[in-house]
Amino acid sequence: MQINPGSNVCANNDLDPEYSYDVLYTLSDEFNTVTYSDFVSTAVYLMHFLHGGRGVAFGQKATLADTLDCNFNAVFRKKLSCVLDDGTVLEVRDMMEQIQNNLVNMLCPKGKLPALLLNLLYPIGSIYMSTSSANPTNIMGGIWVSWGEGRVPVGVGTGTDSNNTSVDFSAANQTGGEYTHLLTGAESGQKAVQTGNQSASHTHSLTYNADSGAAASGSDPSGRGAFVRRTASGGATSTWKTGNQSASHTHSIAASNASNHHNNIQPYVTCYMWKRTA
């Protein structure tokens, strides 16, 4: 049957209530085309037999030979059985259970479900974390070893902190870091300094020609450079002469390392970690 384009009217004799139809609706405009399919069943029958008696239908006209066709929702209050090709009578419920069991056994042989689940959830190399000290080997199977004692896991890859400093953690099972650290002078921000000073302790030796032509020198007990003058007769005067102390020199102070280690541990909460190896 064909309905002419542009027509929205279907004459009574265009559709036969004795047949069912697959209907395709097409709606087109200048921009797009939309299609929609629908199934139109035969006229409603409580029960109908196919001509010749080799087919029966509920809720519609029988159209299929050697077939029980039901167009109603079906509820079976008693057993529903079927006969297999070899003549075996089998309840549908038992048959569905058998199909389910066969499917499970095909996907997972009997007794291997725990191992299958373990491999799906925790393949070899996985890390298991728990607050219980029990070895996962005794819980879910597999071989597990204690892992990461006293260390914090870090994701593999390149990380960048808030100071725009990047660190590359290129592979698994790398270790690093320290619990305490002894700061160097450079790490603590100290700098070496150099300063001038003219008042540091030092002495001067002076030479003086005495009246007799002899020379004498000496130092003031206070640390100042000085000399004593001798007379021609060999005597000595009691007058001290002070030398100049204004020599220029510098002092250097180097940056020093810390003498005590500082705590380098972040806030933490502990747990047990295990790695599956087999």
Give the tens place of pLDDT for each residue, 98-147.
888 888 777 777 677 788 889 889 999 999 999 999 999 999 899 999 99
Buried b (16+ CB within 10 A) or exposed e, 182-211: eeeeeeeebeeeeeeeeeeeeebebeeebe
**Choice between 142 and 215, residue whose per-residue pLDDT is larger:** 142
pLDDT of 238 reads: 45
- Confidence (pTM): 0.43
Tokens of 101: 């069991």
Give the tens place of pLDDT for each residue, 164-204.
999 999 999 999 888 888 887 777 766 666 665 555 555 55
Question: Distance of alpha carbon 123 from its chain centroid, rounded?
Answer: 17
Give the tens place of pLDDT for each residue, 53-63.
889 999 888 88
Report the C-alpha gap between 240 and 229 in whole angstroms.
Answer: 8
Predicted confidence band at 225 (pLDDT cuts at 50, 70, 90)?
very low
pLDDT mean over 69-95? 88
Sheet containing 56-58: order of strands = 48-49, 56-58, 68-70
The per-residue pLDDT of the chain, averaged, comes to 78
Widest Cα–Cα separation across the chain? 171
